[in-house]
Structure 1
Amino acid sequence: MEKRTVISFSLFIVLFLVIVGAIQYLRIHSLHTLLPNVAEQQMNIDQLKSDASAKAGEHQLQIYLVRDEGDLAVETADNLRHGLQYAKLDVREVSPGAVGSIAPSPYTIIIFTGEDSSRWPFVAMKRYVEQGGNLVFANRFKDPAWNALTGIEEIGEYVPDVYGLNFEETIFPGYVDLNPPDDLFVHSVVDFAIADDANVMLSAEGFPILWEYGVGEGNVLYWNTTITNQKMIRGLFVQTLGTMPPAFVTAQAAIKLMYIDDFPAPVMDGKMKDVSATPLDKSVKDFFAEDWWEDMVDLAKDDDVIYTGAMIGTYEEEMELVDEQLIKRGEFPMLYFGRKLIAHGGEIGLHGYNHQSLVTADEPIDPTYGYIPWKDKDEMKRSLLQAESVFANYFPAETLKSYVPPSNALNRTGVDAIAEALPELRTIASLYTGEPESGDFVQEFEFDATHPNLYHFPRVTSDYGEERGSIFQMVDAIANFGVFSHFIHPDDVIDPDRAFGRDWDTMFTSLRKIVHDVRDQYPHLEAYTQHYATEKMITYQQADLNVTFDESTVYLAGEGLVNPSHFTIRLKPGQSLETGKFDFGTVEQWEADRPLYLVKLTSANAEIDIKGEAQ
């Protein structure tokens, strides 16, 4: 009896160990095929129902952009046109010869670009401003004939290499002063002496950069700089433009997007204390699972962000691994981080088969990357399809909807390969600013010119730091059209150069401050994955907005507007809007030296009363 009991017990132990081993094997290797699929969070991009009975005011803002010759004029005009259109401000382009026929009105703004003032009609423009029109000079120029309109009293020499930008008043909440050696902006200015009654709004190294000057019944803005041809000034240009008419409305897409590049991706071997400034006696793999990821989850919960990852199959340079090998290497990152990312409402996009940018030998790329160029488009397509097979193995119910170029480098061959190999992919997300001559894939928010179903959605800022130039760019995109689009790399923590000697706690503290400040200052920005951010941005851009004014009322109406829609309204000093909840939505005041309000529209039209008298 005892012998039989021992045998039974032994069999039980063996069976138990076999079952445990099988479970462990399945857990690591193929249990995911037996588990319920994790699915990406579904979101709706709703639209407001238009109302044909919406009232309209007597006045509508008219903005004219004078298209002139010369590189500075062309670059500035192109840049400002993008910024104005992103804010859903209608702009018409006119030639210098036609601008003299524009009728003056407090709701009309004419913008001159470039330096060739000899082509501009001074007499007509002086009469236009004196009778109540608004005039903007977007670049510095020397011409004493125009001094009566610009508030310039003495013209000095050109001064190159003037660094920074300082705010003499709060124009929009969140902007920071930039001082040397900050090199986000490097101006060429003229050493002007200006009238005492010219009001300086921006300066740099003691030079006035932007001032306003009253002439008769109208207003003039003068930009003593060459930086208005740069993307990172668009939002500030739009917001300063709003100081001119009696009231001014811009639209906000209200999008908040956070990328984690190289995630999920293979994790290196080694201990944190040996490969980074983070002095933990644990493996890199355990650090990312137990510390880094948990901190990122807390950040998402506390400050309302949703992550979009960009997966990597391998860090090997050559495309030598077959599908099964890639799948094997992806087991831990895809099963652990990939499932968790999706379970927390995130999206997995594609970074690539490997971390080699999709460029050929005859396309530009920074040689310091040391990347191996692809032979041709067909080789690129094969790599994309292999990476897609890895994704499909672990997430068979999902499709890849977004692509992030490795090192943000890409060219037309790669774009064509993406569109042909992955026809369901919707978005390429690279850079808003960069150096195309070094291979950076710099984008606007727009559909691809060749592949009309492919949308470009650039990322504006990056990193874990609080570099002031980066903060300025972040705020400027929000001031322009209400988009926060930021990306980080997990492996910055284990790269001594990119970590700049910081440990994880220090890096995370900086990142948390950035994200927390965005939530605090701009709570109207809504968190999205890339797929839904793209759909909302397209809806925002395609909607028709109609803004009109009476002396004491702002009228908002439109068709196809996102629900809810957000707008900024800027008024003259001495005037105000009533804040709170209304039938059309809500109104809240923002921190600025001149009256500035955020309106959230939950109805397709609104009539908003202006109180007080303009000073």
Structure 2
Amino acid sequence: MRHNRGNILILFILLCLGLFFQNQRSEGFLKMFKNTNFSVEAKAVRSLPDAAKSWPDEQFLLVYDGKNGDSLRLAFNIEKTLQQIKKDVKIIPVEAIAQEKLNYTGIILAFSDLDKLKNFEPLHRYVADGGNVYFMITPNGNMFTEIQRELGIKSSGDMVTTPGIKVLSNILIKGKGFVSEKSSIENSSYPVELDEQSRLHLTSYEGVPLLWERNNGKGSYVVYNGTSLQVKDSRGVITGMLGIGLKTFAYPVIGIKLMYLDDFPAPVPEGTSDAIYPDYHLTTPEFYRQIWWPDMLKLAARYNVKYTGVVIETYGNKVDPPFAPEANNGANRNHLILYGRELLKSGGELGVHGYNHQPLVPPGFVRHTDYQPWTSVDAMTQSIGELKRYIGDVYPDYKLRVYVPPSNILSPEGRKTLVQALPDLHVISSVYVGHYETDNSYAQEYDKGPDGVLNMPRISSNYFRDKDDDWSIINGISFLGVFCHFVHPDNIFYPENKGRHWEEFYKGLESLFKDIAEKYNWLRACTASQGAEYFEDFLRMNYRLKLDDNQLQIACGGFRGDSYFVLRTPRKIIKATGCDAQSIDENVYLLKIHSSQVSLLFGSEVRE
């Protein structure tokens, strides 16, 4: 009798285990799966101390030539740079500078013809008394010839085209030693010889001086002998130029590391591919399951990366309703269950890419013949509704907060549709640098749209290291403290990658992740939604600075958790109150501010 009872107990246990494992593979388990995409309960917002409101303003004067297109574009880029690091700036045309009292933190000249100044003597006195003047584009004119010695120039030749850039200092954080491709970042420059008192920061590929500083009296001149600061991915250089001029320079950064997997989870093609079968003898679904995804998870764990995967339901090109799931025996849904669950388990996030891969645009918006415009706004709305149903059927309580436009293309009508169809939408991530005129890219700034949705564009992409991408990455981190990258699972199948092997893709991405982890370990690994919380704090935060002989005070308000600042100073910090100071490069610190009042005491030692 006891023997029978034992058998019954064993059978009961086996039955329970079987039901458990079956449930794990079924929707029952998904109902139990904790929704990881929620907003953390917000801490109280800190207020700016009243005493700091009377501190002197930190203000720059930006001078432009309203009759020159290059000057207007350059001034716009500099203005955006200063605004995003929350520096006050007054913008005037060059004709108005004679009426200005030159009592600014720095004076920025965003035009080339110095003869339009009429008189350089006020700027000379301003620098001699401790001010800083920044030449942001190759200067010219008779006045330039007259002041060359003052700027540190011993001799100068005729203007030439100077391709490429070499970074000789840490004007870009951890950028010292960077060398671009010779064919990229082209400038128009004078081949100059500098005196011994000038400190050189950038040269062209062939060694022509591009950026240097030259002390004069109590102040300094910072000279950019080039024409490439008009573009967005030069903002790290612009920020660094302000830092080398001011000697002690602090500015806020977001401090986040984001990684997107576009088209994931998504339908996986059946059968085999010449791109992988000779190496692995696996079908395409088997390759994703046994090779690609385990390798990606391994990289994320090793280098502290959190993936944000954006979902595609189908690769069909249907753009008019009704929209329905593909009849492929539930394979797409099974991929969403399997990969989505493991993505969330790894600490990642699910976002929206689209019902299909057709950008949300009306007829006539795109030039690409590969894309089908949507027949109506209602059709766009219904397609998003079907994708919501598709994801919600598997993850019923999951909040869809993130959207990445297919092919980084999005129309105003499409954005409006998204905001209405996705009530939890918090982030749209397209690209930071793009050109609508040539590729219809939806280029974004890091800001908040009028609709309340955050713009958090991707700055770089691909598995393989590329010098142009590396330049964008270093500038993005030095400017905003942001690394934001994306890849596609199917990059290996692209025609341009024919003949390449997965091992090359893996090593390329590992090289990038390793570099970021080692050089910028202060960046916080985030999903897009988590990064948005830090970004909201950054946008809301306001601050004031007060610099005395041996003390820097920072007063902050509007933030909830820790606020991140970058501090450039040649002086040694001997005491930090209200923050943690971490050295992140030579004479560069990260300040993790956790109080509304911060004090930094400096020693007399000056670190070169």
In the alignment, is the contact (CA less than 8 A) between 1:326 and 1:390 conserved in 2? no
Q: Write out per-residue CA displacement over residues 406-464 of structure 1, whole angstroms, 9 at most, x where no aligned residue.
A: 11122222222222332432221000012221201110012224xx2222110111111
Equivalent position of 1:419 in the other structure: 419
Could you tell me which of 598, 602, 606 is aligned with 1:610?
Answer: 602
Give runs of aligned pairs for residues 176-575 of structure 1, distance below 5 A: 176-183=177-184, 185-204=185-204, 205-271=206-272, 274-276=274-276, 279-319=279-319, 322-325=323-326, 328-367=330-369, 370-437=370-437, 438-449=439-450, 452-497=451-496, 499=497, 501-572=499-570, 575=571
In the alignment, is the contact (CA less than 8 A) between 1:377 and 1:416 conserved in 2? no
Structure 1 distance, partners of 2:399, 2:256, is: 22
Structure 1 stretches of 5 or more lacking a match? 1-15
Question: How far 1:471 moved relative to its partner?
Answer: 1.5
Which residue type is aligned with residue 586 of structure 1? D
In the alignment, is the contact (CA less than 8 A) between 1:358 and 1:414 conserved in 2? yes
Q: Write out per-residue CA displacement over residues 333-369 of structure 1, whole angstroms, 9 at most, x where no aligned residue.
A: 21101122122222111111111122233213444xx
Question: How far 1:42 moved relative to its partner?
Answer: 4.1
Query: Do residues 39 (structure 1) and 35 (structure 2) align?
Result: yes
Question: How far 1:115 moved relative to its partner?
Answer: 2.3
Question: How far 1:74 moved relative to its partner?
Answer: 1.4
Deviates more, 1:560-569 or 1:135-144: 560-569
Equivalent position of 2:114 in the other structure: 117
Q: Helix, strand or coil: the match of 2:250?
A: strand
Cα separation, partners in 2 of 1:189 and 1:298, compared to 1, 3 Å: same
Question: How far 1:473 moved relative to its partner?
Answer: 1.1
In the alignment, is the contact (CA less than 8 A) between 1:32 and 1:335 conserved in 2? no
Question: How far 1:304 moved relative to its partner?
Answer: 1.6
Cα separation, partners in 2 of 1:134 and 1:37, compared to 1, 3 Å: same
Structure 1 distance, partners of 2:585, 2:158, is: 37
Equivalent position of 1:586 in the other structure: 580
Structure 1 distance, partners of 2:393, 2:463, is: 32
Cα separation, partners in 2 of 1:496 and 1:144, compared to 1, 3 Å: same
Question: How far 1:549 moved relative to its partner?
Answer: 0.5
Q: Write out per-residue CA displacement over residues 472-526 of structure 1, whole angstroms, 9 at most, x where no aligned residue.
A: 21121111021111111111133352x4533222212221221222122222211
Structure 2 distance, partners of 1:399, 1:55, is: 40
Structure 1 distance, partners of 2:380, 2:48, is: 49
Q: Write out per-residue CA displacement over residues 521-572 of structure 1, whole angstroms, 9 at most, x where no aligned residue.
A: 2222112211221232122112111121001101011112342122222123
Q: Helix, strand or coil: the match of 2:222?
A: strand
Question: How far 1:59 moved relative to its partner?
Answer: 6.0
Which residue type is aligned with residue 157 of structure 1? D
Equivalent position of 1:73 in the other structure: 71
In the alignment, is the contact (CA less than 8 A) between 1:41 and 1:345 conserved in 2? no
Equivalent position of 2:91 in the other structure: 93
Equivalent position of 2:9 in the other structure: none
Equivalent position of 1:11 in the other structure: none
Which residue type is aligned with residue 35 of structure 2? A
In the alignment, is the contact (CA less than 8 A) between 2:49 and 2:557 conserved in 1? no
Structure 2 distance, partners of 1:604, 1:194, is: 44
Which residue type is aligned with residue 347 of structure 2? G
Structure 2 distance, partners of 1:404, 1:326, is: 26
Q: TM-score, normalised by structure 1?
A: 0.87
Structure 1 distance, partners of 2:592, 2:19, is: 57
Cα separation, partners in 2 of 1:31 and 1:336, compared to 1, 3 Å: same
Deviates more, 1:170-179 or 1:252-261: 170-179
In the alignment, is the contact (CA less than 8 A) between 1:477 and 1:483 conserved in 2? yes
Question: How far 1:589 moved relative to its partner?
Answer: 2.1
In the alignment, is the contact (CA less than 8 A) between 2:180 and 2:467 conserved in 1? no
Structure 1 distance, partners of 2:232, 2:313, is: 34
Structure 2 distance, partners of 1:350, 1:283, is: 27
Equivalent position of 1:3 in the other structure: none
Could you tell me which of 58, 61, 80 is aligned with 1:64?
Answer: 61
In the alignment, is the contact (CA less than 8 A) between 2:171 and 2:244 conserved in 1? no
In the alignment, is the contact (CA less than 8 A) between 1:278 and 1:503 conserved in 2? no
Structure 2 distance, partners of 1:532, 1:463, is: 23
Could you tell me which of 74, 77, 82 is aligned with 1:84?
Answer: 82
Equivalent position of 2:8 in the other structure: none
Q: Write out per-residue CA displacement over residues 134-162 of structure 1, whole angstroms, 9 at most, x where no aligned residue.
A: 101111131131341434455543323x3
Structure 2 stretches of 5 or more lacking a match? 1-13
Structure 2 distance, partners of 1:34, 1:86, is: 42
Equivalent position of 1:577 in the other structure: 573
Query: Do residues 596 (structure 1) and 588 (structure 2) align?
Result: yes
Q: Write out per-residue CA displacement over residues 64-90 of structure 1, whole angstroms, 9 at most, x where no aligned residue.
A: 212431211111111122222322333
Q: Helix, strand or coil: the match of 1:269?
A: coil
Cα separation, partners in 2 of 1:586 and 1:143, compared to 1, 3 Å: same
Structure 2 distance, partners of 1:330, 1:398, is: 18
Query: Do residues 129 (structure 1) and 121 (structure 2) align?
Result: no
Q: Write out per-residue CA displacement over residues 81-138 of structure 1, whole angstroms, 9 at most, x where no aligned residue.
A: 2222322333232332443455556x72110112243332423222222222110111
Q: Helix, strand or coil: the match of 1:554?
A: strand
Structure 1 distance, partners of 2:252, 2:579, is: 15
Equivalent position of 2:4 in the other structure: none
Q: Helix, strand or coil: the match of 1:221?
A: strand
Deviates more, 1:96-105 or 1:465-474: 96-105
Structure 1 distance, partners of 2:259, 2:30, is: 31
Which residue type is aligned with residue 77 of structure 1? A
Question: How far 1:271 moved relative to its partner?
Answer: 3.1
Structure 2 distance, partners of 1:118, 1:374, is: 54
Structure 2 distance, partners of 1:371, 1:127, is: 60
Which residue type is aligned with residue 473 of structure 2? M
Cα separation, partners in 2 of 1:46 and 1:523, compared to 1, 3 Å: farther
In the alignment, is the contact (CA less than 8 A) between 1:37 and 1:397 conserved in 2? no
Structure 1 distance, partners of 2:213, 2:309, is: 45
Equivalent position of 2:3 in the other structure: none
Q: Write out per-residue CA displacement over residues 276-319 of structure 1, whole angstroms, 9 at most, x where no aligned residue.
A: 37711222212212222222222222222211111111111224
Structure 1 distance, partners of 2:372, 2:53, is: 59
Structure 1 distance, partners of 2:39, 2:304, is: 15
Higher relative contact order (CA 8 A, sep 6+): 1
Cα separation, partners in 2 of 1:556 and 1:410, compared to 1, 3 Å: same
Cα separation, partners in 2 of 1:242 and 1:103, compared to 1, 3 Å: farther
Deviates more, 1:66-75 or 1:37-46: 37-46
Q: Helix, strand or coil: the match of 2:366?
A: coil
Q: Helix, strand or coil: the match of 2:589?
A: strand
Deviates more, 1:312-321 or 1:406-415: 312-321
Q: Write out per-residue CA displacement over residues 240-284 of structure 1, whole angstroms, 9 at most, x where no aligned residue.
A: 211112411121211111110000000011235x34377112222
Which residue type is aligned with residue 366 of structure 2? P
In the alignment, is the contact (CA less than 8 A) between 1:546 and 1:558 conserved in 2? yes
Q: Helix, strand or coil: the match of 1:331?
A: helix
Cα separation, partners in 2 of 1:469 and 1:562, compared to 1, 3 Å: farther
In the alignment, is the contact (CA less than 8 A) between 1:309 and 1:348 conserved in 2? yes
